Amino acid sequence: MPLSKLKDKTIDQLFEAILTLRSVEECYLFFDDLCTVNEIQALAQRLEVARMLGCGYTYSRIEEETGASTATISRVKRCLLYGNDGYKMALERLGRFGPGTDGAGNPQEADKAGRAQGANE
């Protein structure tokens, strides 16, 4: 169900255009025309923060590896906890969300130094 605060015909058109893209290369072409480099990097950073939070990484490790501010990490975490599950849905479909994955969809033991206790930060 679309969110009423977003729903309009131009946004529908944008999402429909994105759904027509058939490869990562086509995404690069489209998004290079559509967005600035900084905008694309900010979107990618948020997705990576969501992935790392979903895998149990700490705020400090996420900040160190992604360069994201604690405000950005907190915002993404709020979306994961109280949002529409969009991050989770997309990352699960990629096999890159949840404890026990290395972010590439591979099972991995938790890195005790860099994971867990993220909720306490």
Q: Is residue 95 part of a domain?
A: yes
The Cα 10–Cα 117 span in angstroms is: 41
Q: Is residue 5 part of a domain?
A: no
Confidence of residue 72 (pLDDT cuts 50, 70, 90): very high
- pTM, 2 dp: 0.81
Q: Is residue 32 part of a domain?
A: no
Q: Is residue 88 part of a domain?
A: yes
36: left (phi over 0), alpha (psi -120 to 50) or beta: beta
The Cα 48–Cα 33 span in angstroms is: 22
Q: Which residue is it, tokens 């009423």?
A: 4
Q: Of 10-24, 64-78, 107-121, give the lowest mean pLDDT range.
A: 107-121
Domain that holds residue 103: 38-116
* CATH number for the domain harbouring residue 99: 1.10.1270.10
Q: Please provide the average confidence, as pLDDT, over all residues in the chain.
A: 87
CA atoms within a 13 Å half-sphere pointing along the CA-CB vector of 88: 12
pLDDT (mean) for 75-97: 96
Does residue 92 register a pLDDT over 90? Answer: yes
